[in-house]
Amino acid sequence: MSTDLPTCNFEADKLILKLKVTLAADPNAIEPVVEGVMEIVREMQCAAGNEDAIELALSEALANAVVHGAKADPSKIIECDVGCDESRGMLIVVRDPGQGFDPNAIPSPVCGESIYSDHGRGIYLINELMDEVKFAKNGTEIHMIKR
């Protein structure tokens, strides 16, 4: 475990869980990472009652990083940091090596022609499931908090 977790207003010395995971930008790598992280999250009881929301948001964030950020190139690396603070909740940061994007330019999947699209719901779901969502570094980094 790494102690250099970006804390996004979390106090590093108060984190009861700090986990840093890297994975190849291979879609097949997402599920094992999510399962491993969630096993630890459940054991620590860091976000009791919110595990399903965290699991889906983490899956979506990693899928976006792999598919869009790294173009599913297994030679590229995705980073995922997880932290838990008893008073602030669960923090997850996912980073990809891509060019980034403007999250405000993503059309809402609940109105207009986007309703009929077969993709484009990941960021919407993440925003609905998590209490705080912020993008950094030109959209190559997402910070998600669940209390």
Q: What is the pLDDT of residues 51-75, one digit of tens each?
A: 999 999 999 999 999 999 999 999 9
Contact residues for 103 (Cβ-Cβ < 8 A; gap 6+): 123, 135, 139
pTM summary value: 0.87
As a whole number of angstroms, the distance between CA 5 and CA 105 comes to: 29
* More confident: 145 or 109: 145
Domain 14-146: CATH class, spelled out? alpha beta
Phi, psi for 79 (deg, rounded to 5) = -110, 140
pLDDT on residue 1? 33
Phi, psi for 49 (deg, rounded to 5) = 90, -15
* More confident: 123 or 10: 123
As a whole number of angstroms, the distance between CA 145 and CA 130 comes to: 6
- For the chain, the domains span 14-146
Q: What is the pLDDT of residues 1-27, one digit of tens each?
A: 333 444 456 666 667 778 999 999 999
How confident is residue 46, by pLDDT bands cut at 50, 70 and 90?
confident
